[in-house]
Structure 1
Amino acid sequence: MPGSLLVAGTTSDAGKSVVTTGLCRALARRGLRVAPYKAQNMSNNSMVVAHPDGGGAEIGRAQWVQALAAGAVPEPAMNPVLLKPGGDRRSHVVVMGRPAGEVSASDFVDGRRHLARAAHDAYDDLAGRFDVVVAEGAGSPAEINLRSSDYVNMGLAQHASMPTVVVGDIDRGGVFAAMLGTVALLDASDQALVAGFVVNKFRGDPSLLTPGLDRLEALTGRRVYGVLPWDPTLWLDSEDALDLEGRRSSGSGLRVAVVRLPRISNFTDVDALGIEPGVDVVFVSEPRDLAGADLVVLPGTRSTVEDLAWLRSRGLDRAVEQHVASGRSVLGICGGFQMLGRRMLDPDGVESGEPADVPGLGLLDVETRFAAEKVLRLPVGEAFGQPVSGYEIHHGRITTGLDEQFLGGARRGSVHGTMWHGSLESDGFRRALLARVAEASGVDLPASDVSFAALREARLDRLGDLVEEHLDVDALLALARDGVGPVPLLPPGAPTPRDS
């Protein structure tokens, strides 16, 4: 019998993605066909997958990783709606992997009805093809001001009569109140689908937690399915930039400074650099932080023109130019590469919202013109004698001049620019690039044979092991298949939507 489970959370970044990913791996080990699903992501960190109709499609990075954990082929139905923030009040919309206009804060309810239909249709499709769908919620189901238009949390649960577990991050404090409050704020029909809880990021002696867990179960009439311990070795591809400051290696020797652009996207591009011995990766936002860097990385951005203006306002443009003048290396990826060129043109306001014609940093002989149609590709090629693969997500069309061609971009001396996200995950290419950086800086870089793909797989296995060891996976699987039994209302006598 097919089943499904919603992994909701008390807050954003409570651990929904981690628990969902771990469950995907644990259930797949049981020989089940497992599909991850998130009705709607709001993230600028995405991945290109194959579209059923041909060409490329864009989904959230977290669902791509969860599909790997499940041993499934990533597809658009696993993240049918992706919102990419274009400002404080508007988001670019991707539906089933393809651009689908914009939605604004002022049109939050009416502008989302068609998105709900697309999301639920995608879920129904997955549920008909897989044994188990492990769905990840967004934010918190207790955002009761948004309940009428919700199709990601309890709106999804109601659509599929889906049992729900609530994840709480105990490392933040107040987890018991957050879990109890999350359930108590829901109306009766939504409460009826909440089966219990998972505690995440616990440090210390588990016996100290027992009185709190017992009290939570007594107060809510719902069980705790387990407590996941804090594990600093886990480092999964993230879908947002909340933990960028913690993304660094513990190495020393070759220093990589990644400019933390305000609208940074696809920042997981640099994760592969941090696994190399003797390489230290830091995110920076001040010109002085570039001093002593051997490699400066300008990453992808959702708003290239605006982030270039930010770069100039802080004097980072001059710091990058001085870095290059000293003979040291720069790598620009997608939007960061476009900034390195001579000029960026946006006559129709595709990216900027209004027409723009701005000079770039002039470090590469490249001109960018933004067009309405988004490019979504999975390219393969070669650089420095090494095979390279990646993915492209952009509106910019690149015209190169006299500089050397380089991975969909250009290269001049120590300045490298590519349109290919993910290229640094190609092990041979990454090591060849770092060897050139080290040579230019006079740094002795240790030999390495580390495989990024193997390391990611090991992390997924480790997460699966933690879930198997610390959560009652068999009970969660039974819950997914059988649904929620009778549970009490909190507080007693809570009104149903029809009574209120």
Structure 2
Amino acid sequence: MRGSIMLQGTASSVGKSLLAAAFCRIFYQDGYKVAPFKAQNMALNSFITKDGFEMGRAQVFQAEAAGIEPRVEMNPILLKPTTDVGAQVIIKGKVASNMLASEYFRYKSELKEMVKETYKKLAEEFEIIVIEGAGSPAEINLKSDDIVNMGMAKMAKSPVILIGDIDRGGVFASLYGTIMLLEPEERALVKGVIINKFRGDVKLLEPGLKQLEKLINVPVLGVVPYINVQIDDEDSVTERFQRRQKGEGIKIQVILLPYISNFTDFTPLEMEEDVILSYVRRPEELDEPDMVIIPGSKNTLNDRLYLQRMGWDGVLRKYAHSGGLLMGICGGYQILGKMFYDPHGAESSLRSLPGLGLLQAETEMAKEKTTRQIKGIWAYEDNRYFAKMKGIPISGYEIHMGQTILGEEVLRPIYLDSIDEWEGGVNKNGNIVGTYLHGIFENLNWTRQLLNNLRRLKGMKEKKGPVQSYWDFKEAEYNRLAQHVRNHVNIERIYQIIAEGVNL
């Protein structure tokens, strides 16, 4: 069999990315050579391939589900919002420029042929391509020069499955309305619908399903119950930010910046049943944390101003001076320092801005973005937060515009043996730490020891025994997701739809 299936949604965040990953794993389990594809992704979560190219995180976990290495061809266009009206435009893994939405709308038509050729090469190599749309195909103001929804389906000659989210309410209206707003030739591409995130007794839904099928003349291929799987979210429209865990344990609180990026860094912490992970917007939400994290940011200078405006400066300085563990990752690392400089206007019209001043460090925004995978060892040790950690292997990836210069009193915690460089910074008291390394918590031996140190300081029992690899954990989650979808979607009919294709 050779062909494709495209998942489009009635709106953003209806579960397209997760269902695409499920189909990738199902086809992979069934012996097919399968790959994901999304022409254009708008997300602040990104990943760096082995070749140093930047791509959307959703296609990374879909590729993993498909049993293959992530490649930038799976996501040729990535838009990373930098303001409410603009984004950094990344083409085939490298920064093209920063554009306003209106500028990109005009520019998009020039990218159509590139998208078509990229998809064609991928389709020649793989037996099944699982294509993901973006937002909704019924956004009638964006239909001209569309390259990610029905425009992509036509380029790929792919049948479409429409996804609706029943959890948010109005699923019948959204499915019906989406179908009715499509052009007749677009409507003909839709071969089935799936209702996602269902909670309750499906028998109560069945009368509505039958009526919907008559109205839209498209079969319902499945009703997928809500499932909580520990797989990376595509963007910041995520339930993770609303979770407020309670109970006894290690309290880790992440500051929810307006332009937070790569919050997938913290997914491994959710594997620990005694870790209470939460995201906080206001200083008064801090709840005697054992660790506070300032995450990555796509607009570090504006997020620095946000912290100042919200009253975080005094609270974070007080927390740090009291000995609390404060960690900054990427943009958060830069915010910990004394000063930012942006001479080229890479992120903002501001040319300089003071940081929190908790690390003796200064950052200058460069014209070129650093994008690389790296390996090394953790080289710092003390008798408190970082006890027994020296020599633990570390790997991850860097995505940053800024270059940070550290003062003499700052200790370098990570030795990158793959490139013979030192990375990150720790203050002399050992409680303020910054790093550019995304994915640091995926190093589960390192994470286990850090958490054990926090457990010891709280008088809790340390965890012993072997540490499960993060890869094994993810593999189990992909398999669990695939089985869940097999149980509730007509997979045999999905295969028939792929085999039949579409006539254009």
Within 5 A, what are the aligned runs for 1:223-242?
Answer: 223-231=219-227, 233-242=228-237
Determine which of 451, 474, 481 is the counterpart of 1:456.
Answer: 474
User: Which residue type is aligned with residue 470 of structure 1?
Assistant: H
Q: CA offsets, 1:225-278, max 9 Å, x none? A: 1111112x3232011112232456666321111000111000111111222232
Pairing 1:360–2:355 present: yes
Pairing 1:30–2:30 present: yes
TM-score of the superposed pair, with normalisation by structure 2: 0.92
Determine which of 50, 70, 82 is the counterpart of 1:86.
Answer: 82
Pairing 1:467–2:485 present: yes
In 2, the alpha carbon distance for the partners of 1:116 and 1:249 equals 45
Determine which of 293, 298, 309 is the counterpart of 2:305.
Answer: 309
C-alpha displacement of 1:72: 1.3
Where structure 2 has 5 or more consecutive residues not aligned to the other structure, the ranges are: 379-388, 415-422
Aligned 8 A contact 1:301 1:335 in 2: yes
Q: CA offsets, 1:274-319, max 9 Å, x none? A: 2223211110111122240110000000011111111011111111
Aligned 8 A contact 1:195 1:484 in 2: no
The equivalent residue for 1:405 is 412
Aligned 8 A contact 1:290 1:319 in 2: no
Determine which of 440, 443, 464 is the counterpart of 1:423.
Answer: 440
C-alpha displacement of 1:95: 0.8
User: Which residue type is aligned with residue 415 of structure 1?
Assistant: I
In 2, the alpha carbon distance for the partners of 1:103 and 1:66 equals 28
Within 5 A, what are the aligned runs for 1:101-500?
Answer: 101-231=97-227, 233-243=228-238, 244-246=240-242, 252-352=248-348, 354-383=349-378, 384=389, 385-402=391-408, 403-407=410-414, 408-412=423-427, 413-440=430-457, 444-447=461-464, 449-484=467-502
What percent of counterpart residues are identical?
Answer: 41
TM-score of the superposed pair, with normalisation by structure 1: 0.92
Aligned 8 A contact 2:195 2:223 in 1: yes
Q: CA offsets, 1:434-465, max 9 Å, x none? A: 23344455555544735433222211111110
Aligned 8 A contact 2:452 2:463 in 1: no
The equivalent residue for 1:497 is none
Query: What secondary structure is seen at the aligned counterpart in 1 of 2:231?
Result: coil
Distance 1:109 1:315, change over 3 A: closer
Aligned 8 A contact 1:275 1:452 in 2: no
Aligned 8 A contact 1:141 1:182 in 2: yes
In 2, the alpha carbon distance for the partners of 1:8 and 1:33 equals 22
Q: CA offsets, 1:373-426, max 9 Å, x none? A: 110010111112211111100101111222111232101211111100001110
Query: What secondary structure is seen at the aligned counterpart in 1 of 2:167?
Result: helix
In 2, the alpha carbon distance for the partners of 1:485 and 1:77 equals 26
Query: What secondary structure is seen at the aligned counterpart in 2 of 1:50?
Result: coil
Query: What secondary structure is seen at the aligned counterpart in 2 of 1:397?
Result: strand
User: Which residue type is aligned with residue 293 of structure 1?
Assistant: P
In 2, the alpha carbon distance for the partners of 1:83 and 1:427 equals 31
Aligned 8 A contact 1:248 1:274 in 2: no
User: Which residue type is aligned with residue 431 of structure 1?
Assistant: R
In 2, the alpha carbon distance for the partners of 1:348 and 1:438 equals 45
Where structure 1 has 5 or more consecutive residues not aligned to the other structure, the ranges are: 487-500
User: Which residue type is aligned with residue 33 of structure 2?
Assistant: R
User: Which residue type is aligned with residue 426 of structure 2?
Assistant: R
User: Which residue type is aligned with residue 466 of structure 1?
Assistant: H
In 2, the alpha carbon distance for the partners of 1:111 and 1:64 equals 26
After alignment, is 379-388 or 132-141 more displaced? 379-388
User: Which residue type is aligned with residue 240 of structure 1?
Assistant: D
Aligned pairs, number: 480
In 1, the alpha carbon distance for the partners of 2:219 and 2:325 equals 55
User: Which residue type is aligned with residue 78 of structure 1?
Assistant: M
Query: What secondary structure is seen at the aligned counterpart in 2 of 1:240?
Result: coil
In 2, the alpha carbon distance for the partners of 1:485 and 1:347 equals 54
Aligned 8 A contact 2:157 2:502 in 1: no
